Amino acid sequence: MNRDRLLRRTVALAAAAGLALTAAACSSSGSSSSGNSGDSGKASAGAALDPNTKVTISIDCQPPTTKPAERKEWADDIAAFNKQYPNVTINAKDASPCEDPAAFTAQLKGKTQPDAFYTYFTDLSQVLDADQAEDISAYVNDQTVPALKDIDPSVMATLKSDGKLYGLPTTNYKMGLLYNRKLFKQAGLDPEKPPTTWAEIREDAKKIAALGNGVNGYGDYSATNQGGWHYTAELYGLGGSMTTEDGKKAAFNTPEGKQVLQNLKDMRWTDNTMGATQSLKWPDLMTQMSTNKLGMYIGAPDDITYMVQTLKGSYEDYGMGPMPGQKAALLGGADYMFKKGSTPDQIKAGIAWINFKYLTMGKGQFDYARTKADGLPVGLPQPFFFGGATLDADNKAKAASATVPVANYAPYLAVQVPGKTEPANAQQIYKVLDNAVSSVLTDKNANVDKLLSDAESQVNQVLANLQ
């Protein structure tokens, strides 16, 4: 993905009795008065932290001063956590964005990242290549993270390698179909029942485009790597993959891969539902939808926030449905990992905080009554990593404090589409696919088979050069 889509919200209670936390808003490296580091304490990993053991951990991604409401909530959560776990000190470091790629790489190289450090789901390979994360498998269970059983397995899989767990999620998104409910109504479509297949999208797009006055039924990106990004999302929905399992070869020159390009070509030239203006890039689709000139496009839930808060749209006008095809949805998100060499007590303390702040209903980011009181939106379907009873509880709690129309996202939440992360070396791959997507949208005579064959060869060369 080309931008940080991540919202800070989530929460869960640690069962480890005897932990506690004192906040110190500085960025020094953590230390612990309990000695053993690394693997030496794994045998006692499941045990509760000794209440007499004082522990200090450093952690990043404290909200910056430019986000006063979120920063206040962070401080309030540390104070609440401190009542329960008074023997743990957190040295907090603010950052915006939470991860800068160049700085992150430098930290890994210099081994200067905090004890608990923020990463994206796609960072695991880089962190492990640098040998800078502790295996926390022995520390995470239904006692330390009670909601563990309800976390989407596809989310947890992004934090595992060779069966070992290296992080805990704090937020995520899954791509789906964003649509303009106002235009649906004007076109005689049911806004409570968005299309779920590409055939249905084509038919609905025709009805929306028939409204005239410059309205397009469907839109897509095709520039600045975002065409390749959306191609990937649409391919995942049909069950395809961008690369082979080992990431060494392209895998998109398939019937599913051809279907993605053919769908776009047909909507652009046969149906004339996408308009003549192409080579769109972020945030062009949001701009079109917020001005009621676009009926549908593939996106993530936080696009809605952008359309309302930045483009002055209305929450009531936007809905979201599952990823067309529903075989998989492009998944992104963020998590915390633990620095190599962290002591068992530091890991336990960090897990307790992450659980409290990000993974427990009614606490931290899931304290919706507080979020509403602080003037922040409540009710958007993000994060979306819980299922089962926890998801039911989350939906109920959101509805009770909602500041946005949660029913508009019911079609999206009703279908648990498996998540699938971006391919390794995503940006290099996306750049190649931009050309294929742009070609079918700007050239009526574009040859889909040749475009994919050429893209396959180019991606294979890119991947070979990286090996």
Q: Can you list the residues of the chain whose pLDDT is less than 70?
A: 1-49
Q: What is the DSSP code (8-state) at residue 374? A: T
pLDDT score recorded for residue 155: 95
Q: Which amino acid is at 435?
A: N
Residue (of 267, 228, 258) closest to 449 by Cα position:
258
Q: Residue 121 and residue 172: Cα distance in Å, rounded?
A: 9
Q: Which residues contact 68 (CB under 8 A, 6 or more apart)?
A: none
Q: Using CA atoms, how far apart are residues 205 and 221, in angstroms rounded to an integer?
A: 16
Quote the pLDDT of residue 176.
98
**What would the DSSP string read from start to end of 112-178?**
-S-SEEEEEGGGHHHHHHTT-B---GGG-STTTSTTGGGB-HHHHHTTEETTEE-EEEEEEEE-EEE
**85 Cβ contact partners less than 8 Å away, ≥ 6 residues apart:** 18, 19, 20, 21, 349, 352
Structure tokens belonging to residue 162: 């060779």
E strand residue ranges, 341-391: 359
Cα→Cα distances 389→17, 23, 146, 149, 285, Å: 24, 32, 12, 10, 35
What was the pLDDT predicted at 46? 61
Strand stretches in 268-314, DSSP E? 294-299
Confirm if 330 and 322 have CB atoms less than 8 A apart: no
Distances 162 to 52, 166, 212 between C-alpha atoms, Å: 35, 11, 54
Give the pLDDT of residue 96.
79
Q: Please report, as a single letter, which amino acid is at residue 328.
A: A
Q: What is the pLDDT of residue 424?
A: 85
Is 137:165 a contact under the CB 8 Å cutoff?
yes
CB of 289 closer than 8 Å to CB of 177: no
453 contact partners, CB below 8 Å, separation of at least 6: 253
Task: For residue range 294-321, list pLDDT tens digits in order.
Answer: 999 999 999 999 999 999 999 999 999 9
Which helix or strand (DSSP H or E) is residue 455 part of? Answer: helix 448-466
Give the tens place of pLDDT for each residue, 352-404.
999 999 999 999 999 999 999 999 999 999 999 999 999 999 999 999 999 99
The long-range contacts involving 262-267, CB below 8 angstroms and separated by at least 24 positions, are: 262/440, 262/448, 263/198, 263/201, 263/202, 263/234, 264/220, 264/437, 264/440, 264/441, 265/440, 265/441, 265/446, 265/448, 266/202, 267/201, 267/202, 267/205, 267/217, 267/218
Look at residues 330, 120, 334, 333 and name the one whose alpha carbon lies nearest to residue 231: 330
In this structure, the strands spanning 419-421 and 318-321 are unpaired
